[in-house]
Every structure is written in C-alpha cells, then in structure tokens.
Amino acid sequence: MLNPKVRELLNDQINKEFYSAYLYLDFSNYYERLGLDGFANWYRVQAQEERDHAMLFYDYLQNNDELVELGAIGKPDKVFTDNMGPLKAALEHEQYVTALINAIYAEAYEARDFRTMEFLNWFVKEQGEEETNARDLITKMELFGNDPKSLYMLNSELLARVYTAPSLVL
C-alpha cells in the first residue's frame, strides 16, 4: 500500500501528463496552421509521449492495487504570435513537470517508498532529456529561424521525428 500523499501525487501526475499531451497537441495545431509540418510533427510526437507517461503512472497505481482517480483535463490557453512562442512555453512547461516529478520523488523519499523512487528514476532521467530537447529547439530557432531556407531545413529535420514508446518496466 502506498503512502496516501504519494498516491495522491501520483494520481495528480496522471492528469498533469494528459494536460501536457493536450498542450503539445495545441502547439502542433499552431504550427500546422502556419504550414510548419515538421514542427507540428515534433509536438504531435511529444503529445504521444505524454499520453504514454500518463499511462505509466496509471499502470503503476493499478499494479500497486491503488485506486486511480482521473480528473478533468484543462484546456490549453496559450496564445502565440510568433514561431518561438511554443518553443519557450514548452521549455517552461517541461521545467514545471520536472518540479512535479521531483516533488513526488521527495515525498516518496520521505515515506521511504523505495519502489516508487525506483519507478520515478526513469522519469527523472526523462525530464532531463525533455528539458535539453526543448532548449536545443530554442537554440536552433534562434540561430536559423529568421532565414527562410534554414527554417525550411529545421522544419524538415523535425518532420523526420518518429514516435518510440517508452520501455519502462513496471
């Protein structure tokens, strides 16, 4: 049986991960409207990742015989006026998610819940990668985004991204 506070935070994280998927679908929609199909693809793949992250938390609770309580998923409300906006919002969001994962980890540590800490180790590593990817996209856009030919090449690079499901064993 999980510590009640740890269980509550894990349940909340399911909702946060589904919200992340909605947010990234919204980013994808933004870029699709601009004709930047590579950027749209990048965030569509991100949305798939976030949905899988939510399901990993869901499965973890189920596998530990805990009740999963699904909450309402908020509607993304960001309004963008340039190509950089979603990229910066994504970095900010990933830093927020990192803080959420760290808070769950800290609570599990306090409760001496080593199984949950082990489960969260994958997410700690994943968040480091997510923040790096978000920063790298910002850097590339700063370097190349104002030149149409370079933007085309960056867009083509992002179009090549394919989805790979996480390989986390519960």
Residues 8-45 pLDDT 10s: 999 999 999 999 999 999 999 999 999 999 999 999 99
| Cα–Cα distance list, 99 to 72, 93, 96, 111 (Å) | 21, 10, 5, 18
Query: Which pLDDT does position 15 carry in this prediction?
Result: 97
CB 64 within 8 A of CB 34: no
In this prediction, residue 166 carries a pLDDT of: 79
pLDDT at 168 over 90: no
| pLDDT given for residue 134 in this prediction | 98
Q: Residue 92 above 80 pLDDT?
A: yes
Q: What is the pLDDT of residue 165?
A: 82
Structure tokens at 96: 């927020």
Secondary structure (H, E, C), 14-30:
HHHHHHHHHHHHHHHHH
138-152, pLDDT tens digit by residue?
999 999 988 999 999
Please determine, for residue 94, whether its predicted confidence score (pLDDT) is greater than 70. Answer: yes
DSSP 102: H
Indicate if the pLDDT at residue 170 is higher than 70: no
Mean pLDDT, the chain, whole residue set: 95
Q: Which helix (H) or strand (E) holds 33?
A: helix 4-34
Contact call for residues 144 and 155 (beta carbons, < 8 A): no
Q: Kindly report the CA angle at 99 between 41 and 118, in degrees rounded to 5? A: 90
